């Protein structure tokens, strides 16, 4: 068994491989790891299903759900999960990651029990396979088509092309976002970046919903993202960034309107600065409890920022704190009887998720799915979440947070 040789082979093949070749490449690498099969599963855009990528060498494999399965547990927890031995074969599901972005899982099948070291070797190969999946997705539509479960509307196609990866992590900060509906979005959008010691976050909600209302809201959201990135990359501070976005929208469409929340976190000190431009308030959670509801509004919605000076709110985070930002589609979601989901229900859900010690990306996924379930999968508005988990400054005791699962802990095995 040679993990190094398996990695070398995948790298050599990957230089000229098509996405259609990845399934057979994984199977060819399996004997080098001492296993009989490696099957790649990618996650669908709604993060409900795991879909196999199959080639000529692949064993029969079926689509599986995330909720209620061992494969789904590996995806949700970022930990390898062993299967019960069956017909003389052992198996384990390994998370398929691109950095900290969850791409799916890798199914490993072997004819003998797998040691923890062998599982760790498979996780190493899975990390490379995850990179190859993402690289292939950049220049081909094959994997993107596999991940789609229904046609995507033009508005969604346009907006989703502007979003950053759904999950990002460093040794100090984890950021996770999710947006629903997947295939016909309106004007919700988010963006983030980590530059040196500063984490930047933004959440936008352009007035109007989906392709039924035209492309206007999506165009506004895309301009807001571009203006936000332009300001960030120019080195503007939070107030100047707000004004830059405000001016960009006003120059394009004086009658358009976007609510927004802009935030910056100093990762050395934990000081969080926030501007809420007519947007729903975010919440700060610590040890499973809400310690602050961020004040709102502190500025006028875009493009009315020239009418009032924005106010920056500061709050000192402690290591392990989580900041949950959301659009009004979360709290204004209504069930069949017209009862809103509401802030109290949102807070209760967030507290339960924290008590379950879930990774940030899984908390965001389950929250949005809870909103969908509350409305019987009939969203009246986009539902968007952006979750920040600050682990503390370099050298701090990070035992208060489980976001280290995003990195090396993913090599541990869950039985």
Instruction: Give pLDDT tens digits along the chain (415 positions).
Output: 588 999 999 999 999 999 999 999 999 999 999 999 999 999 999 999 999 999 999 999 999 999 999 999 999 999 999 998 877 788 999 999 988 899 999 999 999 989 999 999 999 999 999 999 999 999 999 999 999 999 999 989 999 999 999 999 998 999 999 998 888 877 899 999 999 999 999 999 998 544 444 588 899 999 999 999 999 999 999 999 999 999 999 999 888 899 999 999 999 999 999 999 998 889 999 987 889 999 999 999 999 999 999 999 999 999 999 999 998 888 887 888 888 888 888 888 888 877 778 899 999 999 888 888 887 766 667 889 999 999 998 766 555 444 433 333 444 455 4
Give me the sign of the Cα torsion angle 54, 43, 1, 92: negative
Q: Is 188 helix (H, G, I), strand (E, B) or coil?
A: strand
* Residue position matching structure tokens 């409900």: 48
* Residues 152, 360: Cα–Cα separation, whole Å: 26
User: Domain boundaries in the chain?
Assistant: 3-147, 154-406
pTM: 0.89
For the domain 154-406, what is the CATH code? 3.60.40.10
Q: What does the radius of gyration of the chain's CA atoms come to, in whole angstroms?
A: 22
Fold of domain 3-147: Beta-Lactamase (3.30.450)
Tell me if 3-147 shares its fold with 154-406: no
Give the closest residue to 256 by CA, choosing from 180, 190, 191, 205: 205
Q: Is 39 helix (H, G, I), strand (E, B) or coil?
A: strand
Query: Which uninterrupted H or E stretch holds 44?
Result: none
Which alpha helices (H) appear in 15-99, and where do they start and end?
A: 22-29, 70-77
- Please, are residues 33 and 4 in contact by the beta-carbon 8 Å criterion? no
């Amino acid at each position: 068994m040679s993990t190094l040789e398996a990695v070398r082979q995948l790298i050599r093949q990957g230089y000229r491989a098509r996405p259609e070749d990845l399934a057979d490449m994984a199977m060819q690498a399996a004997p080098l790891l001492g296993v009989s099969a490696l099957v790649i599963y990618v996650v669908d855009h709604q993060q409900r299903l795991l879909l196999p990528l199959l080639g000529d060498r692949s064993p029969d494999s079926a689509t599986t759900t995330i909720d209620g399965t061992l494969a789904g547990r590996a995806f949700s927890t970022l930990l390898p999960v062993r299967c019960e031995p069956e017909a003389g074969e052992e198996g384990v599901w390994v998370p398929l990651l691109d950095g900290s972005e969850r791409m799916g899982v890798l199914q490993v099948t072997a004819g003998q029990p797998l040691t923890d070291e062998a599982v760790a070797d498979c996780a190493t190969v899975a990390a490379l396979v995850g990179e190859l999946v993402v690289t292939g997705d950049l220049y081909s539509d094959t994997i993107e088509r596999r991940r789609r479960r229904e046609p995507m509307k033009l508005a969604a196609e346009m907006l989703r092309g502007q979003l950053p990866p759904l999950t990002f992590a460093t040794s100090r900060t984890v950021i996770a976002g999710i947006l629903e509906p997947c295939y016909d979005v309106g004007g919700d959008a988010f963006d983030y970046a980590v530059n040196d010691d500063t984490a930047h976050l933004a959440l936008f909600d352009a007035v109007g919903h989906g392709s039924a209302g035209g492309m206007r809201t999506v165009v506004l959201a895309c301009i807001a993202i571009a203006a936000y990135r332009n300001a960030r990359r120019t080195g503007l501070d939070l107030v100047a960034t707000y004004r830059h976005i405000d001016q960009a929208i006003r120059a394009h469409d004086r009658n358009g309107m976007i609510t927004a929340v802009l935030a910056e976190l100093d990762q050395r000190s934990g000081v969080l600065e926030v501007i809420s431009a007519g947007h729903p308030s975010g919440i700060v959670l610590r040890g499973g409890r809400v310690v602050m509801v961020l004040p709102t509004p502190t500025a006028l919605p875009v493009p009315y920022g020239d009418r009032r000076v924005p106010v920056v709110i500061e709050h000192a985070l402690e290591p392990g704190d989580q900041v949950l930002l959301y659009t009004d589609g979360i709290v204004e979601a209504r069930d069949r009887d017209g009862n809103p989901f509401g802030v109290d229900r949102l807070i209760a859900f967030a507290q339960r998720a924290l008590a379950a010690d879930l990774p940030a990306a899984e908390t965001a996924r389950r929250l949005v799915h809870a909103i969908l379930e509350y409305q019987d999968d009939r969203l009246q508005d986009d539902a968007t979440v952006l979750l920040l988990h600050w682990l503390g400054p370099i050298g701090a005791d990070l035992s208060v947070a489980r976001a280290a699962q995003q990195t090396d802990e993913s090599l541990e095995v869950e039985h």
